[in-house]
Every structure is written in C-alpha cells, then in structure tokens.
Structure 1
Amino acid sequence: MTESTITSKGQTTVPAEIRERLGAVAGTRLVWHLMPDGSLIVRAKTRSLRDMAGMLKAPKGKRVSIDDMNPWR
C-alpha cells in the first residue's frame, strides 16, 4: 500500500506508482468523491467527454426523428 502525507498547506504528492498506473502527468485534474461511509475515491480526469465522440454507431435501418425523441409530446 502506498501513502502520502498532507502538508500544513493542505497539499500532498501523489506517489509515483499511482501516477504511472493512472497515466497522470503534470496538469492532470483529480476528482474527489467522499462516500457516505467515510471512504474516499480519487479519480484522475484524464479524458474529456469530447474524446467519446463517434464511439457509438447507430443501428442500421433504425432512424428516429427528433420529435419522436422528445419526451414532452
């Protein structure tokens, strides 16, 4: 298990092993989630939603109009 210390200024260093496994480099943003049970999840924000553009392909022959997608008909 790796660990780090929080400084008097509230800063800490992410251990090298963790940075390598996450692919985190200088400038990588970290997202912190405090769970109801007191556990903490820290996630490296390495991708943008824009990176997912074009990942999904529409099924062939199935087209839906914008009006049919609108739930407020």
Structure 2
Amino acid sequence: MGVSDNATITSKGQVTIPKRIRDELGLTAGTEIEFIIEEGGTIRVQPKEPPLQRLRSVKEKLSEYDVDIEEMRRESKAAWSSHIDEDET
C-alpha cells in the first residue's frame, strides 16, 4: 500500500480525508470510518466493518480456539441470574 498524505483539522474538529487515500481505501460519501488510538499515540483510521461482517470475524477467530459458545452462553446466563438474585435479597 504505502500511501500517505496530510490533512488539517478545522475549527469544528473536522478532517477531510485526502482523495488519494479515499481512492486507495474505496471510501465514498456515507462510508462509516472508525478512529483507533494505538499505543504510542498513533491514530489508525479504517472503514468501519459492517455489524454482520464483524460477527463473522469474531466467529472465525473464536473457531481457532476450543470454545463452546453455547456453554459460554449458559455460564453467562447463570452468572447474570445469580447477580440478579443477590440484588433482590
């Protein structure tokens, strides 16, 4: 990739993403982006992943581990239920 450019923050806190960066990333009007502050103060800007795609990504990453989603769901429900029971007493 290796594309870089500069931009200036306006008095309203807005930044215009330079055209060659938009073109490289396929960003068009209405595309949601997210800003991620990394260690050392680096700011990463990337297109926001649609919710369904994000769920697929999480599922793919979880499939790399020996994780039983249904068991996690049962444990979470039990923990939440016991928390509610404690609050009622």
What is the aligned-residue RMSD (CA, Å)?
A: 2.9
What is the one-letter code of the residue matched to 1:3? N
- Structure 2 counterpart of 1:4: 7
Consecutive aligned runs of 4 or more in structure 1 exceeding 3 Å deviation = 51-54
The change in CA–CA distance for 1:52 and 1:34 in structure 2 (over 3 A counts) is: closer
Which residues of structure 2 form unaligned runs of 5+? 57-67, 76-89
- Which fold has the larger relative contact order, with Cα–Cα distance below 8 Å and residues 6 or more apart in sequence? 1
Q: CA deviation at 1:12?
A: 1.1
What is the DSSP-based 3-state SS (H/G/I as helix, E as strand, rest coil) of the residue aligned with 1:26?
coil
The number of residue pairs the alignment matches comes to 60
Which residues of structure 1 form unaligned runs of 5+? 55-65
TM-score, reference length from structure 1: 0.63
TM-score, reference length from structure 2: 0.53
Alpha-carbon separation, structure 2, partners of 1:38 and 1:51: 28
- Indicate yes or no: 2:67 matched with 1:39: no
- Structure 2 counterpart of 1:48: 50
More helix by share: 2
More strand by share: 1
